[in-house]
Amino acid sequence: MIRGIHHVGIVVRRLADAFGFYRDALGLPLLTEAVLPDQGVRAALLGAGDTEIELLEPLDPGTGVGRFLARRGEGLHHLCLDTPDVTGALAALKERQVELLDTVPRAGLAGQIAFLHPRACCGVLVELATPSPEATAHARALAAPVRLKRLVVGARDVQHTAETFQALFGLPQVAMNSGPRMMLAVGRGALLVVPAAEVGGTEGMVALSLVAEDFPGLNASFARAGAKCLKGTGEVTVEPESSHGVHLHISRYD
C-alpha cells in the first residue's frame, strides 16, 4: 500500500523567505510551485533524494494552514505517504472505519491526494498521494545534496502510536537497541517514534533527520547563509529560527 515518504509539509510565513534556506542554503532543487486556492496556500515542492519537502504559505489567516501558523508558528505540518492507488487506499481505510478528511481523492501539488484526520494517526496529519510517473521521474532526475533519513514523532504511548501506523499502512518495524523508542521503515526513510517526554512534551511530528552527500560543502553553505547551527564532527543541528521552525538534524552518515 505504501511505497515510501513522498514529502514532509512545512508551514512558513513567506515562501520567498523559506527559499532562502531550503533552496539556497540547503540546496534542494525546486520541482514545482503553484497557488492552490482550494487549500488556501501557495505551495512549493523541493527535491530531497527520493523524497520531497513541501513548503506551504497560507494565502489567508482564516484557512486551515493560516490558523495553524497563527496557533503554532512555522514548522512541521504533515506527512505525505506515497501510494500507487490513493483511491483504493481510501476505500480500504473507509471499510475499516478510519476517520478521513477526504473521502475521495482530489488534485494536489503531489498528484491525486487525500488526507486522514489527525485523530486517526495519533495526532499526525497524514496525506496519501499518488504522483504521476512523469513527476516522479522528474524529481528523481534532479540531484539533491541531502536525503531524508527519518521523521521523528513524539508520542505519549510509543507502542500504541507505532502499532497504529503499522496497522494503517503496513509499515515494518526496524530493529533497535532496547529502550522506549520504536522505528518503522517507510521506503528508504523511517519514522522514529519517541516518548513525548524526551522532546519537551510535544506529541506529533517534532524533527527531521537528513543525510548529506557533501557534509563539508553543506557546512560551508550554511556559514555563507548565516544559518544558526550547532556543529559536530559528523552532524549539524540547525536552529529552528534558521530552518523556519523545524528541528533539523543533518548527518554525514546513515
Q: Which domains does the chain have, with CATH numbers?
A: 4-141 (3.10.180.10), 146-251 (3.10.180.10)
> pLDDT for 4-14, tens place per residue?
999 999 999 99
Average pLDDT over residues 181-191: 96
Residue 178 confidence (pLDDT) above 80: no
> pLDDT for 109-150, tens place per residue?
999 999 999 999 999 999 999 999 999 998 988 889 999 999
Instruction: Look up the pTM and report it.
Output: 0.97
> Which residues sit opposite 225 in a β-bridge?
none
User: Whole-number mean pLDDT of the chain?
Assistant: 95
- Euclidean distance between CA atoms 178 and 172, whole angstroms: 17
Residue 213 confidence (pLDDT) above 80: yes
> The C-alpha cell of 77 is what?
505540518
Instruction: Give the least confident one: 60-69, 135-144, 199-208, 235-244.
Output: 135-144
Residue 51 confidence (pLDDT) above 90: yes
Q: Which one, of 11, 151, 126, lies nearest residue 73 by Cα?
A: 11
- E-strand stretches of the chain: 4-11, 30-36, 41-48, 51-58, 75-82, 106-108, 111-115, 126-130, 146-155, 173-174, 182-186, 189-195, 204-212, 229-231, 235-238, 248-251
pLDDT of residue 47: 96
Average pLDDT over residues 52-72: 96
Q: Name the band, by pLDDT with cuts 50, 70 and 90, for residue 38.
A: confident
pLDDT of residue 140: 87
> pLDDT for 71-115, tens place per residue?
999 999 999 999 999 999 999 999 999 999 999 999 999 999 999
Average pLDDT over residues 212-239: 95
Average pLDDT over residues 53-72: 96
The CA-based angle 253-166-56, given to 5 degrees, is 65
- Euclidean distance between CA atoms 238 and 249, whole angstroms: 6
pLDDT of residue 231: 93
Q: Which one, of 140, 252, 204, lies nearest residue 9 by Cα?
A: 204
Of the chain, the percentage scoring pLDDT greater than 70 comes to: 100
- Euclidean distance between CA atoms 134 and 218, whole angstroms: 29
Average pLDDT over residues 157-177: 95
